Structure 1
Amino acid sequence: MESRHKPERSRFGRLEGSDIDGVFFEMLRAERAARLGRVVFRPNADVYFDKRKNAVVVRLDLAGIDPAEVDLEVDESALRISGVRTDQRHPDAVYQQMEITYGPFERVVMLPPGVDPEQATADYSHGYLEVVVPMKPRPERKKIAIERRDEQQGGEA
């Protein structure tokens, strides 16, 4: 005899048991990494070349992060952005959903040859950090006069 009982549908939709386990393991891994002082997340970034500024622009989504908690290091090959998003969770709250990642972060952006790290600038506004790394000016070409030595020596070869 065939059962007409429909199995109860999971509140997680199509997530299977192993998928749910993976979600919990990822949460625990992030929590453990935060306790050990390791990087927990990489902020989203847009990296582009601004023709008008003749510069590489790196724009990072750092919502909720105090700019005083952000370190920037730049050299001729890379820009390194690191810092901490401090935990602002309410201690008495019972969360239904938690998607904001707290803890240390780091992002390294490779830069093209020819940037001028000494001229880099950074601005923070409305949760976005924008770092502008200008290109070095192209050296001007110089004409070099060719001196003919055979004429100075009386035509001798």
Structure 2
Amino acid sequence: MITVIFKPRQVRPGYSIVEDPLVYFSGNRNYRPTFQTRAWRPATDIYETEENVIVLVEIAGMNEDDFSISMDRNALIIQGLRNSPMEDRRAVHQMEIPFGEFSVEIVFPMEVNLHRVTATYSNGFLNIILPKEPPKHIDLTRE
């Protein structure tokens, strides 16, 4: 037996696959390419327990109003803007800390309970706990 997984892909209204290939081939209607030279991706850890999937994102130096968290089906999307505290840069000798817009998208292979997701931000770490949905049992009825 062969299992075929059907994933219809939609192009944004007003665009064709030729005009918007990144959206089409990414399979994500919310895909936003980050081709800006200042775009960055914060360090992200993902781990799993029996009950939860836990996502830990390092975004130090931000306020809670500087980023947003959203879910789209089984994808977690974290977006934000970290501004540089340096106002006057006359001579930069070393610059390793990224600033500017960022986006993290994590697609989960299992269903999570969207109504029980919790998020906390403390000491520069965003901690998101996504409870897993238990497997669904289907009863067989005999005719």
2:128 alignment counterpart: 131
Pick the aligned partner of 2:106 from 106, 109, 114: 109
Aligned pair 1:50/2:49, yes or no? yes
TM-score using structure 1 length: 0.60
Change (3 A) 1:92 1:104: closer
Post-superposition Cα deviations, 1:39-95, rounded to whole Å, max 9, x if no partner, equal 7101110011122xx011110010112121111111332100000001211415532
Contact 1:76-1:116 at 8 Å conserved across structures: no
Q: In 2, distance between residues paired with 1:40 and 1:139? A: 40
Local SS of the residue matching 1:33 = coil
- Separation in structure 2 between the aligned mates of residue 92 and residue 100 of structure 1, nearest angstrom: 14
Larger Rg: 1
Letter in 2 for 1:33: Q
Q: 1:75 to 1:134 in 2, by over 3 A?
A: farther
Select the residue among 41, 63, 67 that pairs with 1:66: 63
Q: Which residue of 1 aligns with 2:36?
A: 33
Amino acid at match of 2:108: L
Q: Which residue of 1 aligns with 2:80?
A: 83
User: Which structure 2 segments of 5+ residues have no match?
Assistant: 1-34
Q: Any conservation in 2 of the 1:76–1:111 contact (CA below 8 Å)?
A: no
Query: Which sections of structure 1, spanning at least 5 residues, go unmatched?
Result: 1-31, 148-157
CA RMSD of aligned residues (A): 2.7
Aligned to 1:96: 93
Deviates more, 1:109-118 or 1:41-50: 109-118
Deviation (angstroms), 1:137: 3.2
1:81 is aligned with what amino acid? I
- Tell me the equivalent position of 1:151: none
| Counterpart residue identity of residue 48, structure 2 | F
The aligned length equals 110
Deviations for 1:95-129, whole angstroms, at most 9, x for unmatched residues? 21111111000010111222112211101111110
**TM-score, normalised relative to structure 2:** 0.66
Identity %: 28
Instruction: Provide closer, same or farther for how the CA distance between residues 107 and 75 of structure 1 changes in structure 2, counting only shifts above 3 A.
Output: same
Q: Which residue does the alignment assign to 1:118?
A: 115
Contact 1:40–1:105 at 8 Å: present in 2 too?
Answer: yes
Aligned equivalents of 1:143, 1:94: Cα separation in 2: 72
